Structure 1
């Protein structure tokens, strides 16, 4: 083969290698595009799922009935462990011909007898420490026992104290921006300032057969229903947390949002959902299987909603006391 033929072969091989490199690059780009699209769709789906399942994660249950009936701590008794061991050591002592190396048998016996007095003092010291610990534990038990009984009687001041100390009610940013509480005898009204409908994605994501990401405008009906489920999920979460930390038979929850008042022309904090939750009915719910909006039908509630317009203002189910603890 002449040099021209050799050059043609070299050029052809280079072009083939370049085409293969371009093919691999396009394949890598497609693989990355598919991976990015898959990840973007999964992120969207997870966000939407979290938005309508806030009610699934609740605070731990507190058994106030158990706390109220718990017996007080037992009083300590004076132990003799140190003294018993010291007396046993004296009982087992036997003089030996080698005792002179340690000062003699009489001296060794005297040391063992002296240790009995030291041991008795240690037993007494431990007993005094146990008495002090018991006094502290008894005082704590008395406070908790009495507090639990006040809660079980439905005292508003005790209910308020528990709510103010339980910061976990607003752990998640998805719940809203603030919660205010009104207290009555054996009931509580929680007013939750939820997020506006901008918390719902305005677009839908799906992955096409080609692997590409498709983003389309969220249909109005689906958008409004997602927001309705979000608000209902917040109401369920709030009621569930309150039932878990308080021995109440009923809880009122009202979800508020800033929206336009067509009569005044101003943006105002407006109730859009108000529910009277009853403990027995709530505890029978399968929270993992319910549709949040449909679950409202299990309780007396006020909600005006349409798929095309979304929420409208409602009246609170119960009058709210003016004194409220805000968070």
Structure 2
């Protein structure tokens, strides 16, 4: 093959490789498009599911009866367990024959004596940590007991608890929430939700048979039905 033939072969091969690269690029773009479509539909469906199932989501409950009957935390005692063990090791130490022959008895006893001081420091450290935890628990217990006393006849305490454990940020469609407590300690919760336009999507997203994204306008009837379901769920 002459140089012209070689040149034609090289040119043809380069064109073939370019076509293959373009084909792979188009295929990859289609895959990305389908992947993005699946993500969009999944997010859309999850959003609709979330807004009509808010009543199924419940924050951790508070058992005030158990809290009221909770025993007061017990203050820790420094029993010096590690120190006692270290002292017993020194007191009961009996050198073996090799230690005696090498005259290491004094050194071994000195080492055991040093370990007593280390054990004492460790006992103090452990006690300090336990005492710190105790003080935190004691303050929490006292605060809870005081709060329980207030809850029995103080409406402001009830509102305080509700505001702490039922925040508007817990409701993705919540706009405002207010609490009122009557003289007989009955609680009214006034919840304002976002408007239809702020909650219900304008479009419906689904997947075509080919895996691409299909977009349609949200029918007014279905939108109102979703909004009604949302309000009933609350």
Would the TM-score normalized by the shorter structure come out above 0.5?
Answer: yes
Moved more, 85-94 or 52-61: 85-94
- Give the count of matched residue pairs: 211
- Measured after TM superposition, the shift of residue 130 of structure 1 is 8.4
TM-score (structure 1 length as normaliser): 0.48
How far does the alpha carbon of each residue in 1:99-122 deviate from its partner, in whole angstroms, 9 at most, with x for none?
Answer: 9x89xxxxx9xxx9xx9xxx8xxx
Deviations 1:260-307 (A, max 9, x none): xxxxxxxxxxxxxxxxxxxxxxxxxxxxxxxxxxxxxxxxxxxxxxxx
1:183 alignment counterpart: 181
> In terms of mean alpha carbon deviation, does 41-50 or 132-141 score higher?
132-141
Secondary structure of 1:224's counterpart equals helix
1:157 is aligned to 156
- Give the whole-Å Cα distance in 2 for the aligned partners of 1:127 and 1:82: 11
How many Å separate the matches in 2 of 1:10 and 1:140?
84
Q: Are the equivalent residues in 1 in contact too, given 2:203–2:218 (CA < 8 A)?
A: yes
CA–CA distance in structure 1, aligned partners of residues 131 and 146 of structure 2: 22
CA offset at residue 209 of structure 1? 1.8
Bigger relative CO (Cα 8 Å, ≥ 6 apart):
2
**1:54 aligned residue:** 54
Structure 2: gaps (5+ residues): 95-99
**What does residue range 156-305 of structure 1 map to in structure 2 within 5 Å?**
156-166=155-165, 169-172=167-170, 174-184=172-182, 185-198=184-197, 199-233=199-233, 235=234
Structure-2-length-normalised TM-score: 0.64
Distance of 1:32 and 1:12 partners within structure 2: 31
Alpha-carbon distance, 1:197 to partner: 0.9
Q: Structure 1 residues 150 and 38, CA, compared in 2 at 3 Å: closer, same or farther?
A: same
Q: How well do the aligned residues superpose, as a CA RMSD in angstroms?
A: 4.7
Residue 97 of structure 2 corresponds to none
Query: What CA distance in whole angstroms lies between the structure 2 residues aligned with 1:37 and 1:134?
Result: 55
2:44 and 2:161 map into 1 onto residues whose CA distance is 37
Shift of residue 62, structure 1, vs aligned partner: 1.3
Shift of the alpha carbon at 1:85? 5.8
**Higher percent of residues as helix:** 2
Cα distance in 1, alignment partners of residues 188 and 129 from structure 2: 46
* Residue 69 of structure 1, CA deviation: 1.0
Please, which runs of 5 or more residues in structure 1 have no aligned partner? Answer: 103-107, 236-327
SS in structure 1 of the partner of residue 189 of structure 2: strand
Deviation string, structure 1 residues 166-188 (Cα, Å, up to 9, x no partner): 3x522346132321111223432
